Structure 1
Amino acid sequence: MSDAPAIARAADALARATPDALATRARGLSDRAIAWIFVAPTIALLLAINIFPLIWTVYLSFTNYRANRLNQTVEWVGTRNYERILTDPDIWHNMQVTAHFVLWTIVLQVLIGFTLAWLINRKFRGADLWTTIIVLPMMLSPAVVGNFWTFLYQPQIGLFNYVVTFFTGAPVSSFEMIGSVALAPWAIVIVDTWMWTPFVMLICLAGLRSIPESIYEAAEIDRASAWRQFWTITVPMVAPFLMLAVLFRAIENFKMFDLVVELTSGGPGSTTELASINLKREAFEKWRTGYSSAFAIILFVTVFGLANIYVKALNRVKGR
């Protein structure tokens, strides 16, 4: 009779146990073990796709390896590739071109994107239709956009020159955007801004619509002007969203390749040769694999370091 309470508790626990739990316990597997069984293939795939190529690239960056040579003797050259890159004036020119492109595309996209988001957030009639129309460019392939704007930039028949002529009165053939040393950098800035401003607009629009209406109502009760409401409520509360958009666009534009290749191929000369284009030429035209691997690591460390600093600043703005 003394074992009756223990037997009753065991029977009650058995009755409450689910069939899945019983099967799991029968196999001797915990919930954590089952989770790892499902997650492990994904982790292994990510390691194979991301981590291993990174480690292999780091190794190649210290060698004179060339991918187009079979049965070659790979020589360990230490930091020689890094020293040559950091002292090469052509590389620094590519970085300056990249910085110019990144800076001006971000400035224009933030200004135009925020303005469009502010206008659409006013909820006028047809706002949804205009939002759809504005978002269309970012849905296109960069290769398609590059070819499309190459045609628009044609000196004789391109629509862009006729628009400029209409406003300035200059001859149609006087604006050779992608063939001019002075205008080619701005040509790619214009195209990237046209294509990706809608992305910034959507992020800003999400920020604007996340602001509670009660805050504006309280400001109106305090007789705050619309201008004061904009600078003390709208801008501070949308700032984290703006900074997030800047982070995304800066990373993407730092590694921009396909759009610029379709428009100018880095020309005329090296006027629009971004760091990514030079990296491709070193790796797949000159076949200097070790050298280009070192260049890729330098670019990776640069972007990763700047992104880390920026994320810390973003967290401070968000008050974390």
Structure 2
Amino acid sequence: MPDTPMDRLARATPQQLSRRVRGLSDRAIAWVFVAPTILLLLAINIFPLIWTIRLSFTNYAANKPNAEVKWVGLRNYQRILTDPDIWATMQATAHFLIWTIVFQVILGFGLAWLINRKFKGNDLLTTLIVLPMMLSPAVVGNFWTFLYEPQIGLFNYAVEALTGIPASSFTMLGSVPLAPWAIVIVDTWMWTPFVMLICLAGLRSIPDYIYEAAEVDRASKWRQFWTMTVPMVLPFLMLAVLFRGIENFKMFDLVVQLTGGGPGDTTLLTSIELKREAFEKWRTGYSSAYAIILFVTVFGLASIYVKALNKVKDR
């Protein structure tokens, strides 16, 4: 019988260690392999969270490591929840979050419905649509900054052609009412393909025989869409909303690349405000409390949403 690698490995294992391994149960062996990963996750995720919670009750400043750290209790949380500027930032974040999700769901589902028709050039069109999602936010930010330029921006010339407003006097990023919408347009352009792919997976999971049975019962296309397609794709749509909602709530890089949080505070999202408090004003304890409030908000809303998603899936 030929000598296998396992045989050679068994001979190379010290006898004392071999006897210990043979004496372990399957559960114990599983824990031996899983334990390093659990310890790594605890070190990377759990410990920083606990440390942040501790700092949120103090006046600690990272740029003054030798200063006396005082316990302030719930004062940081009280100041955050009663600060009108913080609530204005929350409002700007909610505006960005809601409109990006609405546009991405509508456009993403529409594109998925179109591509699911399976026509000539379907694969090429799918590849072209998915391209924006493959780019980094830094590249997308620079690309759209040039498009929004008042003098040379192609976007402004398109607006001039549609509205008659001179392109040289029209600016998206520098306008207080238009800057938030400029970011919504860019994020929608970049991440609609992601929603489209999830919706496409949902559409292609629907068996053909269901539509064939509906045709036999003489159900109209409109009735098939609302009573069959939408209910079956709804869990996929809700999953896409969950992913995009969490990502857009912590949006940072694309907004900074385009506007830096301006003009004024119109595009100052919670993630940007948190960065300013922590690394520009060096209010580490205050920013830690802010981070905990954001974490609890996202975790709570996501938990409620996941329960609703599970109820939809179980229907």
Normalising by the smaller structure, the TM-score range is over 0.9
- Work out which of the residue numbers 102, 108, 126 in structure 1 matches 2:121: 126
Partner residue of 2:55? 60
Partner residue of 2:274? 279
The alignment partner of 1:177 has SS state of coil
TM-score scaled by structure 2?
Answer: 0.93
- Work out which of the residue numbers 246, 249, 258 in structure 1 matches 2:253: 258
Partner residue of 1:99? 94
The runs of 5 or more residues in structure 2 that have no matched partner are: 1-9
Q: 1:195–1:184: structure 2 CA closer, same or farther, 3 Å change rule?
A: same
- Work out which of the residue numbers 189, 199, 215 in structure 2 matches 1:194: 189
Shift of 1:174: 3.3
Matches within 5 A, 1:71-220: 71-220=66-215
The runs of 5 or more residues in structure 1 that have no matched partner are: 1-18
Amino acid across the alignment from 1:148: F
Shift of 1:300: 0.3
Quick check: 1:178–1:187 contact (8 Å CA) kept in 2?
yes
Partner residue of 2:5? none
Aligned length: 301
Q: Supply the distance in 1 between the matched residues of 2:21 and 2:84 (Cα, whole angstroms).
A: 68
Partner residue of 2:216? 221
Q: Deviations over 1:124-152 (max 9, x none)?
A: 01111111110010111111111111111
Shift of 1:117: 0.1
The CA RMSD measured in Å over matched residues stands at 1.4
Partner residue of 1:6? none
Quick check: 1:24–1:30 contact (8 Å CA) kept in 2?
no
Amino acid across the alignment from 1:66: A
1:235 aligns with 2:220: no
Q: Deviations over 1:12-69 (max 9, x none)?
A: xxxxxxx89x956764211111111111111100000000000000000000000001
1:47 aligns with 2:46: no
Q: Deviations over 1:63-91 (max 9, x none)?
A: 00000013111100000000000000000
Q: Deviations over 1:177-196 (max 9, x none)?
A: 00000100000000000000
Amino acid across the alignment from 2:191: W
Q: Larger Rg: 1 or 2?
A: 1
Q: Supply the distance in 1 between the matched residues of 2:300 and 2:265 (Cα, whole angstroms).
A: 27
1:29 aligns with 2:49: no
Q: Tell me the percent identity.
A: 81
Q: Where in structure 1 do 4 or more consecutive aligned residues deviate above 3 Å?
A: 22-27
TM-score scaled by structure 1?
Answer: 0.92
